[in-house]
Amino acid sequence: MQDNAELLALVNTPTQAALLADIETRLSEGQGFTIATLNLDHLVKLRENAAFRAAYSQHSHVVADGRPVVWLRRLSGRPVELVPGSDLIDPLMALAARLDVPVAFLGSTETTLATAAERLEAAHPGLRVVTRIAPPFGFDPDGPEGMTALNALAASGAKLCLLALGAPKQERLAARAARHLPHCGFVSIGAGLDFIAGSQKRAPVWVRRLSLEWLWRMLSDPRRLAGRYLRCAMILPGLAGAAVLRRG
């Protein structure tokens, strides 16, 4: 099990502005990257899943996607900004359009990917979504299907790929992809494309501002999410203790 202090130290990019500035440089120079968005559910999985920990350790950028992560970092004396993965999509697509960087979407469903591509291309003139890959049910990022997807990405010429597979699959695929496609950038965005396409409904802005998006999600799907949020709540005391000790 990974130490709580080590988990809190995973965020290595403190603000969205810093992230986008570095990504612009990398895209302009043809350098690859991998972006993970750390939240409390990820922290639970990282404590339990060695393959997930290994994948996370290989990411070039980790941002804080979740108020608890922001609060814990503030408690440790090392503040970071909230940078939800879903909120990165528009600025990254604007950047891709401006730099003429071809984009790929991988994950979710064919219908969602097609609708998201249409809406994002309309919102960002010049954006080119050159391939959309909706993996089959049970997709294994570490198996032959994962390599098939990476080969399709390589053939498309995409230099920026949004991964919408959910954790830990998207982070594991990103780590693998970085080795095989070192000049492409990979961003794990979870349900971000589903929100854009309208296949899932995101919490209203006022709910997010009150830091209650977790409650919105749980009430929308209590059978699936109640247990997840209970496990998240159970690790908070240990993480808070580690944050206080790290401050000292």
Rounded CA-CA distance 237/232 in Å is 10
- Going along the chain from its start, the domains and CATH numbers come out as 4-247 (3.40.50.2300)
Q: Is 104 exposed, middle or buried (0-12, 13-18, 19+ CB in 10 A)?
A: buried
The whole-number pLDDT of residue 210 equals 66
pLDDT tens for the chain, 248 residues long, are 457 778 888 999 999 999 999 999 999 999 999 999 999 999 999 999 999 999 999 999 999 998 999 999 999 999 999 999 999 999 999 999 999 999 999 999 999 999 999 999 999 999 999 999 999 989 999 999 999 999 999 999 999 999 999 999 999 999 999 999 999 999 999 999 999 999 988 878 877 776 767 667 777 777 777 888 889 889 999 999 989 988 86
pTM: 0.94
Q: What is the dihedral of CA 24, 109, 52, 237, to 10 degrees?
A: 90
The whole-number pLDDT of residue 1 equals 46
Q: Which amino acid is at 184?
A: C
The whole-number pLDDT of residue 8 equals 83
